[in-house]
Amino acid sequence: MKGASGRKTLSRMFFGHGGASKIASLGDMWWGGVSQNGWGFSVLQQGAELFTLWFTYDETGAATWFVMPAGYWVDERTYRGSLYRSVGSPWLGKAYDRSQFRMFEIGWYNVRYNVDGTASFEYSMGGAPVATLPLARIPF
């Protein structure tokens, strides 16, 4: 495999519009536990808003990311939003071409944060039946 090197500029992304969450400190890495090792969530929190990335594998076994960039609180423990898949320009070792970026809404999700510190992730993509997965914080 060929190596790649480069330099990219990063800046902080602001997405929250203020307000306080009923549950403090949800931002973390979450997963399905040892029995479901290899997939999980990255939850970023600003105020009451969450930006969530779901890292998993597609039907061919290739690493895949889904983004859940905005949502709303259904109640004080359930966050709901749309599920998106994006495609874009490769940027490792190249200049990024932002004109290639596309984002497609493919479904919906709910994350229910439980009193015991665990959570459950419910989702549907492309009209498929609803699936529910357990979540816990990744201990590291």
pLDDT tens for 36-62 read 888 999 999 888 889 999 999 988 999
- What is the chain's length? 140
How many domains, the chain?
1
* DSSP state string for 60-75: TS-EEEEEE--EEEEE
- Structural domain containing residue 92: 28-137
Q: Is 27 within 8 Å of 37 (Cβ atoms)?
A: no
**Model confidence at 123: pLDDT above 70:** yes
Looking at the domain assignment, is residue 99 inside a domain? Answer: yes
- pLDDT digits 0-9 by tens, 73-98: 999 999 999 999 999 888 777 788 99
69 in Cβ contact with 53 (< 8 Å):
no
Map tokens 């599920």 to a residue.
Answer: 83
Say if residue 1's pLDDT is above 60.
Answer: no
By CB atoms closer than 10 A (0-12, 13-18, 19+), residue 48 is middle
Residue 23 lies in a domain: no
- Indicate whether 42 belongs to any domain: yes
> Which whole number is the average pLDDT over 112-123?
94
